Chains A and B, each alone.
Chain A
């Protein structure tokens, strides 16, 4: 098959996907109606990206929410006090993808509170706040230096940050729509100049398990 024909076939295939309703945002920004407000607003429960990377003997977890925020909108942005962010950790040998540990973040009166890492009270779609608070910090306000809470070897930060995600989403959408056949070089970062509300937690690896763990983040609304 010639390349141009191949691209046409691909274009048609992608067009079919659009017609079938697969609409791409990215990475997980405004991914579903349940976490998207009016005017395509990314709600406090909308997780945009999750990161997990080592810093020496510690593991750093980043959970970003409320994507595609303009600088003008950032000063007024707040964490939703009805929403708990949870980092789920599967650290058993079987890797059954059921959480063995949870790190939970709640937001109240301008502060972020970390609970855990602890074994979950219940697993599944209903999360129960685990007992105790490991570390707290003031939520950093827009324009201020990061406020960092430290206790028990655990660090926490919560506040607005530059969205670390980068992607030429606009061209991807054109490819999906069949109006472009390939990416531009160089591409254009659709997420340049936009902010997110970030939760960053750094935990000693010794509190997480051994070997390899599987993790996922969830947002959970208070019942």
Chain B
């Protein structure tokens, strides 16, 4: 995979060099700077929870979101079964095993440009991710809580409900470092 990436990187560089010689835009001193992807993330904890350690985790990070569904939906469904110790029964959002596994396998964050942006606020689901969202409780509830959200009660919340520092009301929003 790495070798293949390098090969493509070289190709891209060569392609970029040609572009450069043909480019007359003086503002762009080096338009051929290319980079190779190392990490990918959207929803929290997806790679860490659902992908076996070692090489598969790197592979997930180097899989394009457009290819993730086909590559990982079945494995995610199996993982949901394993986590529950029984065939995954579905979740409180009304999603069955295949639907939830398919949703998680394509690791993108759905973001609303018009409404409330939150991972889950009791009303809106997967419309963004705010700093204060208790994303782990949401994921635990959907993974372990069953269709009514009441199964495995000891596993559906970690009982850490907020950050250890208050967020700022203005840019850059995150609290100063410790």
Residue A202 lies at the interface, judged by CB distance under 8 Å to chain B = yes
Residue B8 lies at the interface, judged by CB distance under 8 Å to chain A = yes
Residue A215 lies at the interface, judged by CB distance under 8 Å to chain B = yes
Residues of A within 8 A of B5 (CB): 125-126
Give chain A interface residues in 123-171, CB to chain B under 8 Å.
124-129, 131-132, 142, 146, 148, 155, 157, 160-162, 164-168, 171
Number of interface residues of A (CB under 8 A): 106
Residue A39 lies at the interface, judged by CB distance under 8 Å to chain B = no
B57 & A221 in contact (Cβ 8 Å cutoff): no
Residues of B within 8 A of A195 (CB): 177-178
What residue in chain B is nearest A223 (Cβ atoms)?
A: B9
Q: SS class of chain B's interface: helix, strand, loop or mixed?
A: loop
Q: Name the contact of A192 in the complex, choosing from B52, B54, B79, B164 (C-beta under 8 A).
A: B164
What residue in chain A is nearest B37 (Cβ atoms)?
A: A125
CA–CA, A215 and B127, complex, Å:
11
Q: Name the contact of A181 in the complex, choosing from B50, B54, B136, B154 (C-beta under 8 A).
A: B154
Residue A60 lies at the interface, judged by CB distance under 8 Å to chain B = yes
The 0/1 profile, CB within 8 Å of B marked 1, for residues 180-217 of chain A is: 01111111110111110010101001001111111111
Query: On chain B, which size bracket covers the interface?
Result: 35 or more
A162 & B165 in contact (Cβ 8 Å cutoff): yes
Q: How far is the CB of B139 from chain A (nearest CB, A)?
A: 9
* With A157-B171, A183-B158, A186-B159 as contacts: A125 and B107 at CB distance below 8 Å: no
Q: A49-B41, A187-B158 are in contact. List 19 more A-B contacts (CB 8 A).
A: A14-B85, A24-B48, A26-B45, A27-B135, A33-B58, A34-B38, A54-B113, A129-B31, A131-B28, A161-B175, A161-B176, A162-B177, A166-B163, A182-B155, A192-B164, A210-B113, A215-B42, A220-B38, A223-B13
A residues at B contact (CB < 8 Å) = 6-7, 9-10, 12-14, 16-17, 20-29, 31-35, 45-47, 49-55, 59-60, 62, 71, 74, 83-84, 88, 90, 96-98, 121-122, 124-129, 131-132, 142, 146, 148, 155, 157, 160-162, 164-168, 171-172, 175, 181-189, 191-195, 198, 200, 202, 205, 208-223
